[in-house]
């Protein structure tokens, strides 16, 4: 995994909780080489939890990259504990599991995003940046599962709303699971402009995140 060139952002405290030593070292090297993050790695949930309770000079993490299938305390069990100790920490799942149950449990417990370990180095770096900025990065397969879940759970849709051609393009790309950066590149506009269109679209649809926007769009047959 070679570190891609990523957009400049203030250095973030990123913790990795991953029980595979080779993969954990690979992630630490990737993120350290990006020169965007201060990186710390932990082999299990218990080790990360102990440092969370006594963080020392390094402070609490801005983003915690978390595997689900950990020995001992699972990643799913760790999520609410992190949220209690460090409520501002953004928890980003990085795992091999893509079944609806684990996705739903992770998001319900407080994870802000869900990436699969098949993600490219660029997708992982951009996912961490997106999470740190308040976004909800998801691998395309995961986003599709989340949309299906939301479409089943959402209340009957409100009357259809009118959206602009640009907002329709945005919705189509969201439905494909593209990240905010990928959408910006595809549309040939800046991240700032993409964020503006996204906020306007969310307001029109009465939603607060991309997965809900796509679920609503599917219900209204906007895409």
Reported as a single tens digit per residue, the pLDDT across 110-161 is 898 899 999 999 999 999 998 998 888 888 888 777 767 766 665 554 556 7
Give the Cα separation of 20 and 10 in Å (integer).
28
Give the Cα separation of 52 and 104 in Å (integer).
25
Given the candidates 3.10.110.10, 3.40.250.10, 3.40.50.800, 1.10.10.10, the CATH classification of the domain at 146-219 is 1.10.10.10
Give the Cα separation of 29 and 39 in Å (integer).
9
Give the Cα separation of 216 and 147 in Å (integer).
9
Q: Are 148 and 207 in contact (CB under 8 A)?
A: no
pLDDT tens digit string along 3-23?
Answer: 444 444 457 899 999 999 999
Average pLDDT over residues 213-223: 75
CATH 1.10.10.10 intervals, the chain:
146-219
More reliable by pLDDT, 202 or 29: 29
Burial class (CB in 10 A: 0-12, 13-18, 19+), 176: middle
95 Cβ contact partners less than 8 Å away, ≥ 6 residues apart: 67, 68, 69, 75, 102, 114, 115, 116, 117
CATH 3.40.50.2300 intervals, the chain:
12-137
How many beta carbons lie within 10 A of that of residue 143, not counting itself? 24
Give the Cα separation of 131 and 217 in Å (integer).
23
In this prediction the pTM is: 0.67
- Superfamily grouping for domain 12-137: Response regulator (3.40.50.2300)
Reference 120, options 184, 39, 179, 36; nearest CA is 179
Q: What is the pLDDT of residue 145?
A: 77
Q: What is the pLDDT of residue 147?
A: 65
* Range scoring the smallest mean pLDDT among 14-18, 64-68, 103-107, 215-219: 215-219
Q: What is the pLDDT of residue 210?
A: 77
């Amino acid at each position: 995994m070679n570190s891609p060139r990523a957009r400049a952002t203030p250095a973030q405290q990123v913790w990795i909780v991953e029980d595979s030593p080779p993969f954990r070292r690979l992630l630490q090297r990737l993120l350290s080489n990006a020169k965007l993050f201060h990186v710390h790695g932990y082999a299990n949930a218990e080790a990360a939890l102990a440092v969370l309770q006594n963080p020392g000079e390094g402070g609490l993490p801005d983003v915690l990259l978390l595997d689900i299938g950990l020995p001992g305390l699972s990643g799913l069990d760790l999520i609410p504990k992190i949220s209690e100790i460090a409520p501002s920490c953004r928890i980003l799942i990085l795992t091999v599991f893509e079944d609806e149950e684990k996705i739903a449990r992770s998001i319900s417990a407080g994870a802000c995003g869900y990436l699969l370990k098949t993600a490219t180095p660029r997708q992982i770096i951009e996912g961490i940046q997106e999470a740190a900025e308040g976004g909800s990065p998801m691998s395309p397969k995961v986003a599709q599962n989340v949309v299906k879940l939301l479409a089943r759970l959402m209340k009957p849709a409100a009357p259809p709303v009118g959206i602009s051609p640009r907002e329709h393009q945005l919705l189509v790309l969201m439905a494909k699971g593209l990240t905010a950066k990928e959408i910006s590149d595809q549309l040939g506009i800046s991240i700032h402009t993409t964020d503006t269109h996204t906020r306007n679209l969310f307001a029109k649809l009465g939603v607060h995140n991309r997965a809900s926007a796509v679920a609503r769009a599917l219900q209204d047959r906007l895409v």
